[in-house]
Structure 1
Amino acid sequence: MSFLSQDKLTIIGAGGMIGSNMAQTAAMMRLTPNICLYDPFLQGLEGVAEEIRHCGFEGLNLTFTDCIKEALTDAKYVVSSGGAPRKEGMTREDLLKGNCEIAAQLGKDIKAYAPELKHLVIIFNPADITGLVALVHSGLKPSQVTTLAALDSTRLQSELAKHFGIQQSQVEGARTYGGHGEAMAVFASTAKVAGEPLTNLIGTDKLSSEEWEALKKRVTQGGANIIKLRGRSSFQSPAYVSIEMIAAAMGGKPFTWPAGCFVSLPGLDNVVMGMETIIDKDGVRYSSDIKGTEAEKAALKASYEHLVKMRDEVIGMGVIPAVADWKTVNPNL
């Protein structure tokens, strides 16, 4: 069986549940034989490497290290789940300072050790802000950095499928945009349920307005619900979706769920947030034509403003410079 690429893929945070699942998924999808696992917790990391070896993947050249320089040297693709996990009662925003400092160091390490990097996927929370911080410090182009936003849209798809008792794939165009958090904008106008526009169903006996509001709340709190049910934050879904994202960047099937990316539009700029995107071998590009009702666009603007507030908090912490000075750190911005 052939591999999609021969390029080195480095998985950061591979000793954790998300990272170890990413490693196995990447090996199962045969993205590349050259997978390097990094984590500062060497014993747990070695355990992950041993488990992957015990799977017996044909042709796999798996390495692991607790040295970030070794992990990033010659890497062409990186996926990082290397932040602190979210625990019960915490919001993604509660992780802001510590995880942004981790993201800043990752960006600096990429600039130092992986100057030929083609694509970076950041999934540790709050992913929009950690992705922005990593982008600023890495020197990468905006098209080379994406963050996990698709999970909110797949949760919307799942909730609609459960409500209507149909297969999940029969729900098309389920979309959330803006921040990856409780302040996300949930769009109804883009979705179809078994071919029927969702907007035709809301406010009927099939989906009352009250049921729709409750469903939206379940979507925005989907991560908290997983913590409540399993006693730990999501790991299977972010691992799988993020590897689908990097697979697209490596030349696989394009990734067409919304992704977090650096946005530069009038009134929506200088943040990383979930947009209608395509990830392929040329990186990520987003649509500047934002479709939706006026209420949905207002919700997106509110989500953007929430991200700006967090971005400015991080600037105030000194983790990244003021927006006007980003070019001095990263000429691509």
Structure 2
Amino acid sequence: MSNDILNVVVTGAAGQIGYSLIFNIVRGEMFGSDQKIRLVLMDIAPMLDGIKGVIMEIEDCCYPLVGEIVVTADPKEAFANADYAILVGGMPRKDGMERADLLKANATIFQVQGKALNDHAKKTCKVLVVANPANTNALIAMVNAPNIPKENFSCLTRLDQNRARAQIALRAKVSVKDVHNIIVWGNHSLTIFPDHRCGYVSLPSGKSTISGAVKDDTWLQNEFVATVQKRGAAVISARKLSSAASAAKAITDHIHDWHLGTPEGEYVSMGVHSDGSYNIPSGIIFSFPVTIKNGVYTIVQGLPIDKNTQEKLDATTAELISEKEVALAL
């Protein structure tokens, strides 16, 4: 592993997700235990004083991987020579706000950030968009950064995959480490489709299909899917706040695997620019199962698509196309 310092940018750094995420990064959970970090924390100007307190905490923890820490509200300064940009900050959905209103509010933010990335980040910079609507926000940033390869833009669907994996582990009464190759397709929204069909569970007796381990196909086809799709709302209902630590963990998992690679035979889910795989049209950011080696992801090919899965893919694709049309018309 290279010990060259990585320039890592986190936007929305003063928020709940940012607070959890920052400590994952500086502990070495994202890039490895010997990778030095120059950390750039970006937020809107009124939030910068709060970030100063976070810096004090980082200093007090004596993390050896931390080099310079920069705090800024200026995208040009934030993205200068960036190796990784994690775009957590965005306009949250408020009561009474339609999805089209949310798209409009975020379009301006991600146009500005996309242009700043294009003009100031390294051309090899890898960008992960977390702020919702994540797929379409990633698309807007990508469109506004033509000097950075499309393959370097992604959105977070790993949280949905982690949620799906956890539900299977709970139902099958096994450890999450024994649940493999659960994937999620499509849009990080209520149309995302958690797919258990190609996954398996490691048991003392050997490998089992998910269906064989769970022993309840009705649950797998109905409650399991709905639970994953509605998990974010369920967290808000119970906690009165949105997912923070679990989102930060998923971001960490996503970048860790993108940077260091996936284990042999393991699939992970990433929202990436469609190359036409599985007949998903190009020009949208879509969650696919991928493997990663040397910092390059490859969409897993040849997975079987049954009638039910195709219907779910069609629905989430239609939603993404609609979002794209609204966003790019602004």
With normalisation by structure 2, the TM-score equals 0.86
Q: Which residue of 2 aligns with 1:217?
A: 226
Change over 3 Å in CA distance of 1:92–1:235 after alignment to 2? farther
> Could you tell me how far 1:287 is from its partner in structure 2?
2.7
> Could you tell me how far 1:108 is from its partner in structure 2?
0.8
Which stretch of structure 1 is more off in the superposition, 137-146 or 56-65?
56-65
| Alignment partner of 1:111 is 2:118 | yes
Q: Alignment partner for residue 228 of structure 1, among 228, 233, 237?
A: 237
CA contact under 8 A between 1:263 and 1:269: conserved in structure 2?
A: yes
Change over 3 Å in CA distance of 1:171–1:197 after alignment to 2? same
What amino acid is the match of 1:23?
Answer: I
Q: Distance in 2 between matches of 1:172 and 1:288?
A: 17
> How far does the alpha carbon of each residue in 1:166-187 deviate from its partner, in whole angstroms, 9 at most, with x for none?
2112222212111111101222
What amino acid is the match of 2:41?
Answer: L
> How far does the alpha carbon of each residue in 1:52-103 deviate from its partner, in whole angstroms, 9 at most, with x for none?
2221112522222222222111212111101123568989776322122211
SS of the aligned residue for 2:329 comes to: helix
Q: Which residue of 2 aligns with 1:264?
A: 275
Q: Distance in 2 between matches of 1:90 and 1:154?
A: 28
> Could you tell me how far 1:116 is from its partner in structure 2?
3.1
> Could you tell me how far 1:215 is from its partner in structure 2?
2.1
Q: Distance in 2 between matches of 1:254 and 1:211?
A: 26
Q: Which residue of 2 aligns with 1:325?
A: none
CA contact under 8 A between 1:93 and 1:125: conserved in structure 2?
A: no
Q: Which residue of 1 aligns with 2:290?
A: 277
Change over 3 Å in CA distance of 1:6–1:18 after alignment to 2? same
Q: Distance in 1 between matches of 2:243 and 2:3?
A: 27
After TM superposition, list the pairs within 5 Å mapping 1:44-59 onto structure 2.
44-59=50-65
| Alignment partner of 1:69 is 2:76 | yes
CA contact under 8 A between 2:91 and 2:106: conserved in structure 1?
A: yes
Q: Give the count of matched residue pairs.
A: 312
> Could you tell me how far 1:308 is from its partner in structure 2?
0.6
Q: Distance in 2 between matches of 1:53 and 1:86?
A: 34
Q: Distance in 2 between matches of 1:280 and 1:196?
A: 27
> How far does the alpha carbon of each residue in 1:158-208 deviate from its partner, in whole angstroms, 9 at most, with x for none?
111112222112222212111111101222311224432134467xxx425
Which stretch of structure 1 is more off in the superposition, 113-122 or 275-284?
275-284
After TM superposition, list the pairs within 5 Å mapping 1:32-181 onto structure 2.
32-40=36-44, 41-61=47-67, 62-86=69-93, 95-139=102-146, 140-181=148-189
What amino acid is the match of 2:271?
Answer: G
Q: Distance in 1 between matches of 2:168 and 2:100?
A: 27
Change over 3 Å in CA distance of 1:48–1:93 after alignment to 2? farther
Q: Alignment partner for residue 241 of structure 1, among 250, 253, 258?
A: 250
After TM superposition, list the pairs within 5 Å mapping 1:166-205 onto structure 2.
166-193=174-201, 194=203, 195-200=207-212
Change over 3 Å in CA distance of 1:240–1:267 after alignment to 2? closer
CA contact under 8 A between 2:172 and 2:213: conserved in structure 1?
A: no
> Could you tell me how far 1:231 is from its partner in structure 2?
1.2
> Could you tell me how far 1:278 is from its partner in structure 2?
2.7
Q: Distance in 1 between matches of 2:104 and 2:320?
A: 14
Q: Which residue of 2 aligns with 1:27?
A: 26
Change over 3 Å in CA distance of 1:286–1:240 after alignment to 2? same
Stretches of structure 2 that go unaligned for 5 or more consecutive residues are none
> Could you tell me how far 1:26 is from its partner in structure 2?
0.8
Which stretch of structure 1 is more off in the superposition, 136-145 or 207-216?
207-216
Q: Distance in 1 between matches of 2:223 and 2:258?
A: 36
CA contact under 8 A between 2:103 and 2:326: conserved in structure 1?
A: no
Stretches of structure 1 that go unaligned for 5 or more consecutive residues are 318-333
CA contact under 8 A between 2:117 and 2:145: conserved in structure 1?
A: yes
What amino acid is the match of 1:287?
Answer: V
Q: Distance in 2 between matches of 1:312 and 1:304?
A: 12
SS of the aligned residue for 2:319 comes to: helix
> Could you tell me how far 1:277 is from its partner in structure 2?
1.3
Which stretch of structure 1 is more off in the superposition, 217-226 or 236-245?
236-245
What amino acid is the match of 2:62?
Answer: G
CA contact under 8 A between 2:184 and 2:289: conserved in structure 1?
A: no
What amino acid is the match of 1:106?
Answer: Q
Q: Distance in 1 between matches of 2:97 and 2:298?
A: 32
> Could you tell me how far 1:129 is from its partner in structure 2?
0.5
Q: Which residue of 2 aligns with 1:324?
A: none
What amino acid is the match of 2:39?
Answer: I
CA contact under 8 A between 2:192 and 2:229: conserved in structure 1?
A: yes
Q: Which residue of 2 aligns with 1:327?
A: none
Which stretch of structure 1 is more off in the superposition, 53-62 or 118-127?
53-62
Q: Distance in 1 between matches of 2:319 and 2:52?
A: 40
With normalisation by structure 1, the TM-score equals 0.85
